[in-house]
């Protein structure tokens, strides 16, 4: 059996991994939340890895409150950078392969084409910077790693854009959503399956990969489709980033080129509308 540690096991991606873990009969999982293992505490991390044996560590633990990170910079750094560094050290010492989840926020959003893994990072928020620094810490300390950048993550678990829109559609008669930020939503369960397929394939093609569902849309487009599929009775209007001010600056264009990971795993691209439909079915259950 391949033994896998999942940090951040109580977040939405961790819960998605748990929900499909029984489909992978040769994989044995341990799911830990932040109360079980504080990845920012190096002594705690070192001791845990010394006392337990793993083949892989999937790091889903992250500080993801994008706006709050502007005010809690040290906290974001401790989890996103120091935590990643601690796991990389422990994985290196104990011959564990690390699969680390990163983000489209490592880019500044000024590109006209989808970002490839080779494109230069240039984060424009504290969240993006701490995630980029976490990537660099892993690259510096651990040769055998996979870094998977993803975007606009949502699922039936935790807090996310889809569940927020569904809640607002019950509370409000009308809503304005920004229409000047372009990206692609990613159903966390699709990402979870990709991660486990990497492990199942025993691939040694380490490095950075991009994964999202397929298509380019704005947050307005996403909200519109959520309301259409859920048959919500709400009037939706377009706004822009200047009108809808937030503490953190978001990338205007953060579409990811996913051809590298599709080639590695011989995957068929999944269109974002189809995955949204699957997620809404799970939420309705």
Q: Tens-digit pLDDT profile for the chain (285 aa)?
A: 999 999 999 999 999 999 999 999 999 999 999 999 999 999 999 999 999 999 999 999 999 999 999 999 999 999 999 999 999 999 999 999 999 999 999 999 999 999 999 999 999 999 999 999 999 999 999 999 999 999 999 999 999 999 999 999 999 999 999 999 999 999 999 999 999 999 999 999 999 999 999 999 999 999 999 999 999 999 999 999 989 888 999 999 999 999 999 999 999 889 999 999 999 999 998
Give me the number of domains the chain comprises: 1
Is residue 11 one of the residues assigned to a domain? Answer: yes
Is residue 244 one of the residues assigned to a domain? Answer: no
Residue 70 CA to residue 65 CA, distance in Å, equals 9
**Residue 21, domain CATH:** 3.40.50.720
The residues annotated as belonging to the active site are 127
Q: Which domain range does residue 73 map to?
A: 2-159+186-215+254-270
Is residue 239 one of the residues assigned to a domain? Answer: no
Is residue 84 one of the residues assigned to a domain? Answer: yes
Residue 221 CA to residue 138 CA, distance in Å, equals 35
CB 138 within 8 A of CB 88: yes
Residue 161 CA to residue 163 CA, distance in Å, equals 6
Is residue 276 one of the residues assigned to a domain? Answer: no
In sequence order, the β-bridge partners of residue 28 are: 3
Instruction: Please report, for residues 154, 182, 189, the alpha-carbon distance to residue 222 in angstroms, rounded to integers and kept in the order given.
Output: 11, 10, 18
CB 101 within 8 A of CB 148: yes
Is residue 202 one of the residues assigned to a domain? Answer: yes
pLDDT tens for 165-220 read 999 999 999 999 999 999 999 999 999 999 999 999 999 999 999 999 999 999 99
H-type alpha helices, 184-231: 188-201, 219-230
CB 272 within 8 A of CB 215: yes
Is residue 199 one of the residues assigned to a domain? Answer: yes
Is residue 175 one of the residues assigned to a domain? Answer: no
User: Does the reported pTM lie above 0.75?
Assistant: yes
């Amino acid at each position: 059996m391949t033994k896998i540690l999942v940090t951040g096991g109580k977040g939405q991606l961790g819960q998605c991994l748990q929900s499909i873990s029984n489909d992978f009969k040769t994989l044995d999982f341990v799911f830990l939340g932040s109360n079980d293992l504080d990845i920012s505490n190096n002594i705690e991390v070192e001791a845990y890895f010394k006392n337990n044996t793993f083949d892989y560590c999937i790091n889903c633990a992250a500080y993801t409150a994008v706006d709050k990170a502007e005010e809690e910079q040290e906290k974001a750094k401790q989890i996103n950078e120091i935590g990643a560094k601690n796991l990389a050290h422990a994985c290196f010492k104990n011959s564990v392969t690390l699969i680390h989840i990163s983000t489209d926020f490592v880019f500044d959003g000024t590109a006209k084409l989808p970002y490839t893994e080779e494109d230069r990072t240039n984060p424009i928020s504290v969240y993006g910077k701490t995630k980029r620094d976490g990537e660099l810490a892993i690259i510096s300390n651990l040769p055998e790693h996979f870094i998977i950048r993803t975007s606009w993550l949502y699922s039936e678990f935790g807090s996310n854009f889809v569940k927020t829109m569904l809640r607002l559609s019950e509370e409000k008669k009308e809503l304005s959503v920004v229409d000047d930020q372009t990206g692609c939503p990613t159903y966390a369960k699709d990402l979870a399956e990709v991660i486990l397929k990497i492990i199942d394939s025993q691939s040694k093609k380490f490095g950075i990969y991009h994964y999202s569902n397929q298509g380019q849309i704005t947050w307005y487009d996403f909200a519109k489709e959520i309301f259409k599929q859920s048959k919500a009775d709400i009037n939706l209007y377009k706004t822009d980033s200047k009108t809808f001010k937030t503490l953190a600056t978001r990338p205007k264009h953060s579409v990811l080129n996913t051809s590298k990971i599709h080639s590695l795993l011989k995957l068929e691209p999944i269109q974002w509308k189809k995955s949204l439909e699957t997620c809404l079915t799970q939420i309705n259950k």
